[in-house]
A and B are shown apart, each in its own frame.
Chain A
Amino acid sequence: MRFERRETRSPILLMGAPLIAVAVALAITGFLIALSGAPVLEAFQKILISAFGSRLAITETLTRATPLIFTGLAVAVAFRAQVWNIGAEGQLYLGALAVAAAGSGGAFGLPPLLLIPFLMVVGALAGMVLLVVPVTLRFRFGVDEVVTTLLLNFIVLLFVSLAIEGFMRDPLAFGWPQSVPVDGDARLPKLVPKSRLHLGLVIAIIAAIVVFLVNRYSVFGMQSRAAGLNAAAARFAGVPISWTLIKVACLSGGLAGLAGAVEVMGVKGHVSTALSPGFGYAGIVVAMLANLNPLGVVAAAIFVAAMFVGADGMSRSLEVPSFIADVTVSLALLTMLVALFLSTYRVVR
């Protein structure tokens, strides 16, 4: 058995790849649910109802999808240029911490209309700095950024823990380790009353559209794609590789920082070490399921969020551990890789 590159990648196969990947992942999930002894079809039905079955469920799913759109975009932008940013989790937390620091205690007396954009810039900048360092280390010292960004996740989480137990501790939190809350003016307005859904979703979708346009129509977008496809050829063609990668790092880190910013300003109001249940790592799955397409990221983020929200609800009524959502999502990443491969190669006997 051999694999032969297809002459043309059919758009139908390319569009179908994520659907096939998700279907296979769900089939394996069904098998794992059966292992727990729960009725499989009922479990899937419960997942679907918990994720989309009511107005509240839909708003919960979209609330969960909001940071995933940002981290998914962050990963998609980076991977397209072959910058292996696995540190979205750390960038999210640092962005969140920066927002909590700048947005509390008077917040420089800015009016709400200016304060919210200001805080988003602050969060994005924090994420940017955290990614520019490892990317710089890559071309200054040849250090693989996969390992450094991964290790930075642990360092940042410890730093957050240090901050919220120390200099940023909320004295009114009854001893819970959490940061001082951001001011009321810094909170994002709700989209749907009596739900948690906030303006962050709109900002996330706008970000996806902007990234899509930048990718497709700007010189920077072309250069970053060229750097990812073949860095040597791109350099030969006059693309400033280091500078392009720094810009990619700023965009990617900034988007991940924004994920933290909207989580604090839209949902939690403060930072704790429970702010993100792995949004940064799930962003990798989101980006891959979208085949690194910024608009696809929105759809992929909603799927991943629905799995998490749905599995939470399902595990409350059936005795299936909610970790099943993490299994499905990670399986979808692996099956997506294979599906993409099969859309590019054909099997020859």
Chain B
Amino acid sequence: MSELVDILFTVGLWSSVLRIATPLIFGTLGALLCERAGVLNLGIEGIMTFGAMVGWLTVYQGGDLWAGVFAAAACGAVFGLLHALMTVNLGLSQHVTGLGVTLFASSLSYYIFRLAVPVQGTPPTVEPFQTYAVPLLSDLPFLGPTLFSQTPLTYLALAVALLLAYVMARTPLGLAVRMTGENPHAAEAQGLNPIGLRIGAICAGSALMGVGGAFLTLAAFNSFFPTMVQGRGWVCIALVVFSTWRPSRALLGAVLFALFDGYQLRLQAHFGKAVPYQLFLMMPYILSIVALVIMSRRARVPQALMKPYRRGER
């Protein structure tokens, strides 16, 4: 049994935690931003898939790694705009539209991928982001290899989390977005533009989702294959509830989830013979459901979430 505890204190586990958490941080923050403005974005799974594909393809075609990240963000924003036009401007069901965006974005990414890369034995690869050791800090014992020897995208994810936490809590823009999600009528009465704010929030949030997907193909792995997002988008939607719609807690939730996932992977290596590996793979999904059950009652949902806003209509 003590081995189980020993694994918890290995550098290997903890340096994998931030790596596993990175796409979840991007995705959760993106979904959180949309929901804070009052719109559920179930397009996340497909947007992450498209981000993963387009980021990889950009680099595969000779683009720079950062160009890949930018392409993923831009495509994410475009799908976000599609979601926004349908749910905000037309006020259509956010559930069904989001699922439609997911189905469309993922099937389109498979189609484009197959057009660009014909079927072959092993999927082609690109040279992914290398870890960047922060000078001095990476020499610290334990913290150095776990916190300060990550890929640039992981540092970016942490920076975005802090920035979003600051913007949402401390700036007029953040207040406006939150107000739109709580009471768009009041926001309009204050001279704000709820429609514009919602569209902006969804596009920005979806861009983050796209970057989260690109991390998978440009840093975590080095190739693209269909179904590689593996429900991470849905986990992010669950993490938003877990975070009670706060960026700082979203960061915490993603890291906790990744710790569990990393631990599960190591247990799998340890007990792989005795226990079927599928049981371990199920754990993260079961954990998400459990977290939802525990948190949903306490959660203070943005009051106008999933309520379309039409000017002059009550």
Contact = CB atoms under 8 A, between A and B. Distances in A.
Interface of A: 2-3, 32, 35-36, 79, 84, 86, 137, 141-144, 146-148, 150-155, 158-159, 161-162, 165-166, 281, 284-285, 288, 321, 323-324, 326-327, 329-331, 333-334, 337-338, 341
Nearest to A285: B103
Given A146-B42, A151-B234, A162-B276, A330 B100 contact: yes
Contacts of A32: 108, 111
A28 B120 CA distance: 28
B231 A327 contact: no
B96 A337 contact: yes
Interface of B: 42, 82, 86, 90, 92-93, 95-97, 99-101, 103-104, 106-108, 110-111, 114-115, 230-231, 234-235, 237-238, 241, 276, 278-279, 281-282, 285-286, 288-289, 292-293, 296-297, 299, 310-311
Given A162-B279, A284-B96, A326 B230 contact: no
Contacts of B293: 137, 141, 143
Task: Tell me which of B110, B238, B279, B285 has the highest count of chain A C-beta atoms within 10 A of its own C-beta.
Answer: B285
A329 B108 CA distance: 11
Given A141-B297, A147-B234, A333-B100, A166 B276 contact: yes
Contacts of B238: 147, 151
A330 B285 CA distance: 25
A144 B293 CA distance: 9
Contacts of B106: 326
Contacts of A165: 276, 278
Contacts of A326: 103, 106-107, 110-111
B100 A334 contact: yes
Given A159-B278, A333-B103, A338-B86, A151 B95 contact: no
Nearest to B114: A321
Contact of B104 (A141, A159, A161, A327): A327
B276 to A, nearest CB: 5
B99 A284 contact: yes
A146 B43 CA distance: 13
A36 B311 CA distance: 43
7 contacts: A32-B108, A32-B111, A159-B282, A326-B111, A330-B100, A330-B104, A334-B86
A323 B278 contact: no
A163 to B, nearest CB: 9
User: Chain B contact residues: over half helix, strand or loop, or mixed?
Assistant: helix
A3 B309 CA distance: 12
B100 A154 contact: no
Contacts, number: 125
B107 A323 contact: yes
Given A141-B293, A151-B285, A288-B96, 7 more contacts: A36-B115, A137-B292, A137-B293, A143-B292, A146-B237, A321-B111, A321-B115
A117 B264 CA distance: 42
Contacts of B230: 154
Contacts of B107: 323, 326-327, 329-330
B281 A84 contact: no
A154 B42 contact: no
Contact of B110 (A143, A323, A341): A323
A141 B100 contact: no
A245 B100 CA distance: 24
A150 B114 CA distance: 26
Given A147-B234, A326-B107, A334-B104, A35 B276 contact: no
B101 A323 contact: no
Nearest to A278: B103
A166 B275 CA distance: 11
Contacts of A337: 86, 92-93, 96-97, 100
A334 B97 contact: yes
Task: Tell me which of B92, B96, B106 has the highest count of chain A C-beta atoms within 10 A of its own C-beta.
Answer: B96
Nearest to B111: A323
A148 B289 contact: yes
A152 B238 CA distance: 13
A165 B272 CA distance: 14
B100 A151 contact: no
Task: Tell me which of A151, A158, A165, A285 has the highest count of chain B C-beta atoms within 10 A of its own C-beta.
Answer: A151
A162 B285 contact: no
A144 B282 contact: no
A327 B293 CA distance: 35
A142 B104 contact: no
A150 B231 contact: yes
Nearest to B98: A146
A281 B42 CA distance: 14
A209 to B, nearest CB: 25
Given A284-B96, A337-B96, A155 B285 contact: yes
Contacts of A137: 292-293
Nearest to A162: B278
A141 B107 CA distance: 34
Contact of A35 (B86, B115, B234, B279): B115
A332 to B, nearest CB: 9
Task: Tell me which of A84, A143, A153 has the highest count of chain B C-beta atoms within 10 A of its own C-beta.
Answer: A143
Task: Tell me which of A148, A284, A329 has the highest count of chain B C-beta atoms within 10 A of its own C-beta.
Answer: A148
A331 B282 CA distance: 31
Nearest to A160: B278
Contacts of A141: 292-293, 296-297
A86 B40 CA distance: 15
B288 A86 contact: no
Nearest to A167: B276
Given A142-B296, A143-B293, A155-B285, A86 B99 contact: yes
A158 B276 CA distance: 10
A162 B278 CA distance: 6
Contact of B234 (A150, A162, A285, A327): A150
